[in-house]
Amino acid sequence: MGKNVITWTVRVIVYLGLLAFFIWVFSNEYLNHLVENFEEFLVLLRQHIQLVALSSFLAIAVAVPSAIIVTRPKFQRFEGVVSTVVNFGYTIPNMAILALMMGIMGIGFQTAVVALFIYSILPIFRNTLAGIQSVNSNLIDSAKGMGFKPYQILFKVELPNAAYSIIAGIRTAVVINIGATALAYLIGGGGLGNWIFVGINVFDNSILISGALPITLLAITVDLFLRLLERKVVPRGARPSTR
Amino acid sequence: MGNSESTFWRVIDYFQNNIDWILELTVEHVVLVGSAIIVAILIGVPLGIYLTTNEQLASTVLNIAGVIMTIPSIALFGIMVPIFAVINQGIGFVPAFVALILYSQLPIIRNTYTAIHNVNPQIRDAAYGVGMNTWQRLFKVEIPNTIPVIMAGIRTAVVLNIGIGVIAAFIGAGGLGILISQGITRGYHEMIISGAIAISILGITADLFLRFLQRLLTPKGIS
Amino acid sequence: MIQYKSVTKIYGEDVTAVDQVSLDVNEGEIVVLLGPSGCGKTTLLRMVNGLESVTDGDILFNGESIKSLNEIELRRKIGYVIQSNGLFPNMNIEQNVTVVPTLLGWSKEDKKKRFEELMELVGLDAEDYRKRYPHELSGGQQQRIGVIRALAADPPAMLMDEPFGALDPIIRERVQDEFLAIQRELNKTILFVSHDIDEAIKMGDKIALMKDGQLMQFDTPSQILQNPANDFVAQFVGKDRMVKSLTIHRIEQLMERYELLDSSIEKGQIATVSKSSNLRDVLSYILESKQQAVHVVNENDEVIGQVDFALVNQYMIDLAEKDEPVVNP
C-alpha cells in the first residue's frame, strides 16, 4: 500500500508540474510567436525535418553496411581497431563536430548535413555491430550445417536477430540528431534552432518557447513512433525480453 | 592543400597565444560538469538503490528519466531559461546546472537500479546466511559487486554532460563552449576549431580517467 | 554410406585433432562417436558436411568424395542437429521446421503438409505450435523441433552433435526413446556424437570410441563392453561395464544359446518377466523378489520357462570368451 502511494504521488507531481508548465506557457502567451508566424514556423520545421531525414538516411546507408562488412570473417581482424575508433568518437561532443566541420567547410546547409551525418553514424554503427555480434554462434553453425549460403545466413539469421539492436541504434541516432539539428542553425543550416538562439539573444521568451517546445515534442513523438516501428518490424522471438 | 596546412598552424598559434584563457575556460567547464555530476550521483545512486525495493515506482521514474533524455539539450535550455527567469536566474550557471543534473539521471539511476537488481540471488542469500543486516549487505556485498556497472553509468553521464556543457555556453554558463559561440559570432575559424579540439580532448581525457577510476574502485575478484 | 578413409585434421601448425581415422557408417545405422571432451569426436562429425576442413585423407558420401561435391548441396542432403538445438529465435516453429524445404524452394502446400507430418511424428499438435516461437517451448520440445527440422527435407543421413546433451535426465530418456522409435521407421544413416557411455550403448548400433584424435575401438556396444580393446576403453566404459552390457542382451538372445530352466514353481509366487526383457532387469527382479529365479512369459503371457542367476552368468561368460574384440590398427 505504502509503495503504491509513493508511486502515485510521484506521478501526480509530474503531471501537475507539466500542467503548471503549460498553464504558465499559455497564460504568458509564450506560443504567440508561433501562432503569429505560423508560415515561418512551417518553413523552419520543414528545414529541420529535411536536415534530420537526409543526414539520418545517409548515416544508416553508411553505418549498417560497414558494420556488416567488419563482422564478415574476412575483415574481422579490423574489427578491434574500428570499435576503438568508434568508442573514442563517442566521447567527442556533437557541438565539437559541428564546429570542426564549420571550420573546414564554412557555413551552410551542406556543412550541417555532413556534420549531423558524421555524428549519427556512431550509434547506428555501434548498435549494428553489437547486434550482429550477439547473435549466438550456434545459430550460424546450424545455418551453415543446413546448407545456408553466406548471404542467406546474413539476411535470414543475423540481420533479423540483430534487428532490435539495429533499430534501437537508429532510434537513438535520430533522436540525438533532432537535438543536434537545433544547433545546425549556428552553422547556417536553418531549422527550428533558429528561434531558440534568436530568443536567447534578444531575451524574448515567446520566441524561445516557440522554438524549444516544438523541437521537444518532435523528439518525443519521433522516439515513440520509432518504438512502435520497432515492435512491428522485429520478430517476436528476436526481442531482448524473450532471449 | 596549402590552405588547410596553414589553418593547422594558425590553430596551433591560437592555442599558444591563448593558453591561459583556454585553461581558465576548461576549469569553468570542469567545475560546471563536476558539480552537476556530484549532485546527480547523490540523487541518482540512492534513488536507484531505493527503486529496487519498489518496482512500480522504478518503471515510472525510469520512464520519466527516459523522456527527459529525449528532450534536445538546447530545447531544454530554451525552456529552462524563461522558467528560471522567474527567480532572476534565467541566463547563466543555474539553468545549465539543473539541466545537466536532469540529463545525468537516466544513465545513473538506470545503471544503479539494474546492477543492484541483478545481483546474483545466491550472493544475497549468502550475505543473509552469514548474518549481515540490510545495510551491511548493501555496503559490503551489493555495492562492491556492482561498482563496474554503476561507474559505467556515471561515465556515460559525464561524457554526455561535457558535450551538453558546451551548449550551455550559449545561455551564458561559461566553459569551453565560449570559444565556439564567440568564434561563430566573430567568424573566427581558428577559435572555433581550437574550441572543438579542446572539448574533444577534455571528453576523451575524462572518459579515460573514469575508466581508470572504475578499475581502481572495482574489487579485484570482479571482472 | 559415410566412409572415413584415414582422415586427419591438423589445426594450425601441429595440433592434431583427428589422427588417421578410418571407419564406415553403413546405411540405416546409428554410429555413436564417443569419447571425453577434446578427443576429436565433434571435429570428426563436422568434417562430413564441410564445417571443418579435412587436412589429410578423404571422406566418401555415397561413394563420392565430399571434396568433389558442392558443399551447399551436400549440407542440404544431410540433416544437422546440435546440442543447443540451434532453432532460429526470429522464426516461428513452422518456419524453423521448414527452413531447409524453403531453401530448396518447395511449394507452400508441400511445406505445410510436411510440417504437419513431422509434428505428428513427435506427437506435437501442429496447429498449436505453428505460430509459436522457440523461446515459448520447453527444452524437450525445442529439441524435438530441432530433430524434425533436420528431418524436414527427408535427408538420407543425419549428423547429431550431442543432440540431447542439454536436457535433464528424465526428459532426455523420453526423447531418446522417441527418437529410436522414429529411427526404426525411417532408417536414416546417423552419426551421433556423445560423451555419455549409457547414451552410446542405448542409441548406437556401433560405437566409435575416441581418445586424443585416435580411434580406440569401433564395434558394437556389446563388444565394446565385453571385450574392451585396451585399458583406456575399459576405463572409459567403467567398472560396471558388465552390468551395463546386461542391458543390451535380452532373454530372447539368451534363448538362442540355452534352454530355459524348467518352471517347477507355480506362476505367481515368483516374479514374471517377458522374454523381451533385458538381462539387467532380470537380475534386478531376482534380487528384488528374494527368490532364486524368475518366470519368463511369451507374448501371450504364457510361462515358457525360468531364468536364474547362474544361467545369466553362464551366458555372459560365454559371450566374452567366444568373440574376439575388433581393434582398430
Least confident of B24-33, C5-14, C140-149, C318-327: C318-327
Helix, coil or strand: residue C214: strand
For the range A25-33, what are the long-range contacts, defined as Cβ-Cβ under 8 Å and sequence gap of 24 or more?
Answer: A25/A209, A25/A213, A28/A205, A28/A206, A29/A206, A30/A205, A30/A206, A30/A208, A30/A209, A30/A210, A30/B82, A31/A206, A31/A209, A31/A210, A31/A213, A32/A206, A32/A210, A33/A195, A33/A204, A33/A206, A33/A207, A33/A209, A33/A210
Please write the tens of the pLDDT for every residue from B38-52.
Answer: 999 999 999 999 998
Once rounded to an integer, what is the mean pLDDT over residues B10-37? 90
User: Are C189 and C163 within one domain?
Assistant: yes
Mean pLDDT over each residue of chain C, to the nearest integer: 87
Q: What is the mean pLDDT of residues C238-267?
A: 79
For residues B32 and B93, give the distance between their C-alpha atoms in angstroms, rounded to a whole number. Answer: 8
Question: By the CB < 8 Å criterion, does C160 face chain A?
Answer: no
Taking only the tens place, the pLDDT of each residue in C144-162 is 999 999 999 999 999 999 9
End position of a domain, from candidates C195, C212, C239 = C239
Are C95 and C210 part of one and the same domain? yes
Q: Could you read off the pLDDT of A51-62 as tens digits, one per residue?
A: 999 999 999 999
DSSP label at C327? B
Give the DSSP letter of residue A92.
S
Query: Tell me: the pLDDT tens digits for C39-54?
Result: 999 999 999 999 999 9
Q: Is C151 helix (H, G, I), strand (E, B) or coil?
A: helix
Query: Can you name the CATH fold of A31-242?
Result: MetI-like fold (1.10.3720)
In the structure grid, which three cell numbers stand for residue A72, read together?
A: 564478415
Cα gap A230→B86, rounded to integer Å: 41
Residues in chain B within 8 Å Cβ distance of A14: 64
First to last CA, chain C: 22
Would residue C70 be called left, alpha or beta, if left means φ above 0 and alpha means ψ between -120 and 50 degrees? beta
Q: Which three cell numbers stand for residue B203?
A: 571528453
Sign of CA dihedral A39, A44, A45, A50: positive
Q: Give the span between the Cα atoms of C167 and C144, in whole angstroms.
A: 11
Please say whether the beta carbons of A185 and A193 come within 8 A: yes
Write down which residue in C214, C239, C264 finishes a domain: C239
pLDDT recorded at residue A75: 83
Residues C286 and C216 in one domain: no
B35 within 8 A of B94, measured Cβ to Cβ = no
**Rg from Cα positions in chain A:** 22
- CA dist A89 and B143 (Å) reads 30
* C201 shares a domain with C161: yes
Residue from C88, C94, C131, C136 whose CB has the most chain A CBs within 10 Å, to mutate: C88
Are C141 and C226 contained in the same domain?
Answer: yes
φ/ψ of C54, rounded to 5, equals: -95, 125
Least confident range from A19-33, A67-81, C253-267: namely: C253-267
List, in sequence order, every residue forming a beta bridge with B177; answer none if it has no partner.
Answer: none
Q: Please give the average per-residue pLDDT across A60-68, as a whole number.
A: 93
**What pLDDT does residue C326 have?**
42
* pLDDT at C118 > cutoff 90: yes
Residue C307 Rama label (left phi>0; alpha psi -120 to 50; beta):
beta
For the stretch B89-127, pLDDT in tens is 777 888 899 999 999 988 999 999 999 988 888 888 888
Chains B and C make contact, 3+ CB pairs within 8 Å = no
- Of C86, C57, C259, C268, residue with least CA distance to C160: C86
A145 and C99 within 8 Å at the Cβ level: the answer is: no
β-sheet bridge partners, residue C190: C30, C158
DSSP conformation class of A30: T
Task: State the total domains in chain C.
Answer: 2
- Do residue A208 and residue B81 have CB atoms under 8 angstroms apart? yes
| Range of the structural domain that residue C284 is part of | 251-322
SS3 of A180, please?
helix
User: Cβ distance C41 to A112 under 8 Å?
Assistant: no
pLDDT tens per residue, range B124-173: 888 888 888 888 888 888 888 888 899 989 998 998 899 899 988 888 88
Can you give the pTM of this predicted structure? 0.81
In the predicted structure, residue C214 carries a pLDDT above the cut 80:
yes
Best of B54, B74, B158, B162 to substitute, by most chain A Cβ atoms within 10 angstroms, is B74
CB contact under 8 A, A237 and C49: no
Residue B61 forms contact with A (CB below 8 Å): yes
Answer yes or no: is C160 within a domain: yes
Q: What is the ipTM, given to two decimal places?
A: 0.80
- Does B76 lie at the interface with A, CB-CB under 8 angstroms? yes
SS3 call for B140: helix
Using alpha carbons only, what angle is made at residue A49 by residues A43 and A53, rounded to the nearest 5 degrees?
Answer: 145
Predicted pLDDT at C270: 77
In a domain, C67, yes or no: yes
Q: Which domains does chain B have, with CATH numbers?
A: 26-222 (1.10.3720.10)
How many angstroms separate the CA of residue C164 from the nearest CA in chain A? 15
* C208 lies in the same domain as C268: no
Which of chain C's residues have a Cβ under 8 Å away from the Cβ of A145? Answer: 46, 49, 51, 75, 78, 80, 82, 86, 159
Judge whether residue C283 has pLDDT over 60: yes
Rounded Cα–Cα distance for residues C60 and C45 (Å): 13
What CA–CA distance (Å, rounded) separates C207 from C201? 8
Q: Under a CB-based contact definition with an 8 Å cutoff, are residues A222 and A175 in contact?
A: yes
Contact A126, B223 (CB under 8 A): no
Q: Does C166 map to a domain?
A: yes
pLDDT number for residue A157: 93
What is the pLDDT, as a whole number, of residue C286?
86
Buried b (16+ CB within 10 A) or exposed e, A40-76: ebeebeebbbbbbeebbebbbebbbebbbebbeeeee
Indicate if the alpha-carbon torsion angle A88, A89, A93, A97 is positive or negative.
Answer: positive
| Cell 585423407, located at residue | C57
C246 located within any domain: no
Residues C85 and C198 in one domain: yes
User: What span, in angstroms and rounded, lies between the C-alpha atoms of B198 and A93?
Assistant: 11
C325 CB-contact burial (10 Å; exposed 0-12 / middle 13-18 / buried 19+): middle
Q: How confident is the model at residue B1 (pLDDT cuts 50, 70, 90)?
A: very low
Mean pLDDT along residues A100-123? 86
Which residue does chain B place closest to A18, by CA atoms? B64
C221 with C242: CB under 8 angstroms? no
**Which region holds residue B146: left if phi is over 0, alpha if psi is between -120 and 50, else beta?**
alpha
pLDDT at A12 over 70: yes
* H-type alpha helices, B18-72: 19-51, 55-70
Residue B80's pLDDT band (cuts 50, 70, 90):
confident
Find, among B172, B171, B170, B180, the residue nearest to B202 by Cα: B180
φ and ψ at residue C270, rounded to 5 degrees? -115, 165
- Using the 3D structure, point to which of C239, C262, C292 is the last residue of a domain: C239
Cβ neighbours of C288 (radius 10 Å): 10
Query: How many angstroms separate the CA atoms of A169 and B62, rounded?
Result: 19
Mean pLDDT for A101-113 is: 83
pLDDT for the residue C20: 92
Assign A189 to helix, strand or coil.
Answer: coil
Residue-wise pLDDT for A126-136, tens only, equals: 899 999 998 98
Of residues B208 and C239, more confidently modeled: B208
Average pLDDT of chain B is 86
Lookup result for grid cell 534568436: A198
Kind of pairing between the strands at C206-211 and C78-82: unpaired
Average pLDDT over residues C141-146: 91
Q: Given CA atoms C197, C200, C206, C210 in this order, what sign does their dihedral have?
A: negative
Model confidence at C113, pLDDT cuts 50, 70, 90, reads very high
Kindly state the percentage of chain C with pLDDT values over 90.
47
Q: pLDDT tens-digit profile of C120-138?
A: 988 899 999 999 999 899 9
Are C306 and C295 contacting, i.e. CB atoms less than 8 angstroms apart? yes
- Among chain A residues, the shortest Cα distance to C91 is held by A237
Determine the residue of chain B that is closest to A220 in CA distance. B70
pLDDT band for B5, please (50, 70, 90 cuts): low
**Domain residues of chain A, as ranges?**
1-28, 31-242
Q: Which of C46, C133, C159 has its CB closest to that of A236?
A: C133
**pLDDT at res. B142:** 86
Kindly tell me if the per-residue pLDDT of C266 is higher than 70.
no
Q: Are residues C63 and C187 in the same domain?
A: yes
pLDDT confidence bin for A63, thresholds 50/70/90: very high
